[in-house]
Amino acid sequence: MELAAAASEPAGGDRPVREAPLEARIWYATLLTRVRGLRPAERLLAGKDPCEQSAGDPGAESADRGPLRPEAQAALRLCEAEIHLAGGRLTEATTAAETGLRLAAQAGNRGLPPRGHVVMAVCSVRALDLTTGLLYANRLRDAALLGQENLMPGQCVWAAAQALEARDGMESVAHLLKGIAHDEVLTRDLLLSQPAAAPWLVRAGQRLGDADLAERTVRTMGRLALMNRSFRSVQAAAEHATGLFARDADALEAASERHLDPWARASALEDASRVRSARVVERDRAVDLLRRAADAYLNAGASRDLARVQSRLRELDDHGGRPTRSRTRVSRLTDTEFAVAELVSQGLTNGRVGSQLYISPHTVAFHLKKIFRKLDVTSRVELARSWNRILVEERGDHPRESGPDFLVRPAVAARQAG
């Protein structure tokens, strides 16, 4: 990180940051993104001092950027895509990744596309677009066979595994997960750059009954946290993985507060809810945590995860949790109905929705009739127009957290060292 910061400084004492080599700025911004220093990364790409405080818009562009080679433009857009994904802005991430991939193809560059493929695969799976997710998972697989993913091999395998798991279940990717856990290069690359990866691997180990995978992930993440005490994202990931492994709800809630990644924060809340729901006396607390997770997934555009949480809320309701079904219309939808409503609201035809969810267009039409009745709408046009408003109105009223610094505060670091 220090080398990247030094390389991104312009030659000469007081020259503006925008005069530093663009490649160096992109490199430093990429590293900052991996530890969720998103605001400094955005400012670097815009040609501004990353240390200055600014309330500028995410992804703001520098007016003095000027004409760039297609390869440099591709790297810039793909870095912006990673920033948007880390910030929970899936639409912006997808747009930037598509642009970056197109520019990389024009430049004939074969090393950059895996970065865009990772973003596209993860965004698509979270947005319930499994067809696109699998398309990019296959491209990541092809890149691995050709040795083109050498800059981020762990992230490539992880992104592909998520897409395959979404379609075929966790058992289908068990061999990929073992490959990650037993390869030090893959593990370090992944766990340091994706705060949600360690808990995801622990969760996978628990579902597969693979204690070695879960334990190995916790140990490795713990060592990385000790070596990187300054970075909140690394500390949060270690606390999340350890809390999940030990089924410690307090630790999971603490990890959710420390996470800077919106999706990782939501998953920690969901994990804490699941642990607390095992005890009847904590059922109300579990429902509250799950509502907060739903709110965070909604803000991050993670439709697939939101559908799962809605299903879990109904399950808690059926087993004595705080009543939810009578209070919201969305909670009355089944998982499939929620997915159909989400995709139809995006303008997809019944045939396209069916291909995404692996059901027939006739079945989509059948679900739509029930969706219309439950949501009190009369057409797919009205559904598309009102879907986001319905979700926003029916989510919990939880205040959004201000963006914290990506570094651990000195006082906190001192307590951890002690």
**Mean pLDDT score of the chain, rounded to an integer?**
83
Question: Residue 401 phi/psi, 5° resolution?
Answer: -85, 145
Residue of higher predicted confidence among 399 and 362: 362
Amino acid letter, residue 64: D
Q: Is the separation of the CB atoms in 94 and 123 below 8 Å?
A: yes
pLDDT of residue 1: 55
pLDDT tens digits, 69-104: 889 999 999 999 999 999 999 999 999 999 999 999
Average pLDDT of the segment spanning 196-220: 95
Collapsing DSSP states into helix, strand and coil, what is residue 378?
A: coil
Residue of higher predicted confidence among 190 and 347: 190
Residue 30 — pLDDT band, cuts 50, 70, 90? very high
CA 87 to chain centre: 8
pLDDT tens digits, 366-377: 999 999 988 888
Amino acid letter, residue 102: R
| Count of all residues that appear for the chain in the document | 418
pLDDT tens digits, 189-205: 899 999 999 999 999 99
pLDDT at 61 over 50: no
Amino acid letter, residue 36: R
* Burial track 91-111 (b if 16+ CB lie within 10 A, e otherwise): ebbbbbbebbbebbeebeeee
186 closest CA partner among 220, 135, 137, 234:
220
Residue 381 — pLDDT band, cuts 50, 70, 90? confident
pLDDT at 278 over 50: yes
pLDDT at 45 over 50: yes
pLDDT of residue 385: 81
Q: Is the separation of the CB atoms in 43 and 56 below 8 Å?
A: yes
Residue 317 — pLDDT band, cuts 50, 70, 90? low
pLDDT of residue 70: 85
297 closest CA partner among 288, 312, 307, 287:
307
**Range among 115-119, 156-160, 280-284 rated most confident:** 115-119
pLDDT at 413 over 60: no
